[in-house]
Structure 1
Amino acid sequence: MANLNHMDKHFETLDDFLGTHFIYTYDNGWEYEWYAKNDHTVDYRIHGGMVAGRWVTDQEAHINLLTAGIYKIAWTEPTGTDVALDFVPNEHKLNGTIFFPKWVQDHPEITVTYQNEHIDLMEESREKYETYPKMVVPEFANITYIGDAGQNNDQVIAAEPYEGMTDDIRNGKFYDENYRMIKR
């Protein structure tokens, strides 16, 4: 078992952040897994909350270094959901604000899938159902896992979430020493 959890990693530059894989839990109990794939793309899996089971790869995002070791990431999903994350990884914290359109709040099950295979459905639902009022979820989170996956690693977020997956990752049972998924 490879110990890939680098909670002691020090972040200073944008390059320190890119290629990093995180697991974090919001104060409301929602658990997320998130990967800074490169300087303009993120991948993520959702393990808790109203859209648990949803996963996304190659989401275009704005990824910026605000000051040494503090990062701002923002994007709009095909669902119309807007996300803004402020990572402070040296303190194992982040603040996230998710702006869910009314339709996602009313029909979250539509989004609980591998989004990349259902972009048309996301866009269709965004047009078909109501957008407002948006459900705004501002939360602090604690980072429980920091992995050095390297940039553009398509193995990081490459399988649908399952119960206990984040524990498997934290316990070194999901990726090998080269940050490739271990065959099950």
Structure 2
Amino acid sequence: MESSKDLSAFIGTHFVYTYDNGWKYEWYARNENSCDYRIHQGLVGGRWVTHQQMNAVQFAPGIYKVDWHEPTGTCVSLLFDMNRELVHGTIFFPQWIAGEGQHPEKTICYQNEFIDDMRKFRDEGPAYPYVIIPEFAKVTYMKNEGANNDEVINKAPGQLPGNYFDNK
């Protein structure tokens, strides 16, 4: 069974969603190979990234899966069900970020300006054992903003215009 590389209905889509654990995220399918995101609330709330390299596939009609590995050592896997307006995310945090007594605050920045720092923190570790957090999220905003739109995720997390977390 093959998944589809037809991402035309997905690319350019801007999502805002809240995980069952209360973490609030914003994510944008910039193009077939990269995404942008902001974390509004959660363990690393305040963090944001643009042009994150990713792998994306169409899992089934209206269902897309994306995966990436960050310079921090964090791995992320997201499944977007656009029809049911749900996301299932699994975040694999290295120990240095999410372990007992560690330092998630070191990642709270615009990562693009601190790539070397993120790699240094990753290499200093510790990495293992990874802290694995699987959660469902409800999409509260979904709109196609077009591919490679630098206006979608262009500033630090904060109050979103409108009420993107509660409008559905």
- Say yes or no: TM over 0.5: yes
Once the two structures are superposed, what CA deviation does each residue of 1:20-73 show, in whole Å capped at 9, x if it has no partner? 000000000000000000001000000111100000000000010011111110
* Matching of residues 159-170 of structure 1 within 5 Å: 159-162=155-158, 164-165=159-160, 168=162, 170=164
Is 1:134 equivalent to 2:130 in the alignment?
Answer: yes
Once the two structures are superposed, what CA deviation does each residue of 1:92-128 show, in whole Å capped at 9, x if it has no partner? 1011000000011111000000000000000000011
* CA-CA distance at 1:79 after TM superposition: 0.3
* Matching of residues 22-33 of structure 1 within 5 Å: 22-33=15-26
In terms of fraction of residues, the more helix-rich structure is 1
In the alignment, which residue of structure 1 is the partner of 2:95? 102
Find the aligned partners of 1:114 and 1:62 in 2 and give their Cα distance.
21
* Matching of residues 48-67 of structure 1 within 5 Å: 48-67=41-60
In terms of fraction of residues, the more strand-rich structure is 2
In the alignment, which residue of structure 1 is the partner of 2:117? 121
Is 1:36 equivalent to 2:32 in the alignment?
Answer: no
- Unaligned segments of structure 1, at least 5 residues: 1-12, 172-184
SS state of the match for residue 153, structure 2? coil
Is 1:152 equivalent to 2:148 in the alignment?
Answer: yes
Find the aligned partners of 1:160 and 1:168 in 2 and give their Cα distance.
17
Q: 1:75 aligns with which of 45, 68, 78?
A: 68
In the alignment, which residue of structure 2 is the partner of 1:177? none
Q: Which amino acid aligns with 1:76?
A: H
Find the aligned partners of 1:145 and 1:102 in 2 and give their Cα distance.
32
In the alignment, which residue of structure 2 is the partner of 1:19? 12
TM-score, normalising length: structure 1: 0.83
Find the aligned partners of 1:169 and 1:42 in 2 and give their Cα distance.
23
In the alignment, which residue of structure 1 is the partner of 2:3? none
Question: How many residues are aligned here?
Answer: 157
Give 4+ residue runs of structure 1 displaced > 4 Å after superposition.
none
Find the aligned partners of 1:138 and 1:122 in 2 and give their Cα distance.
23
Q: Which amino acid aligns with 1:47?
A: H
Once the two structures are superposed, what CA deviation does each residue of 1:3-35 show, in whole Å capped at 9, x if it has no partner? xxxxxxxxxx52111000000000000000000
Find the aligned partners of 1:29 and 1:38 in 2 and give their Cα distance.
28
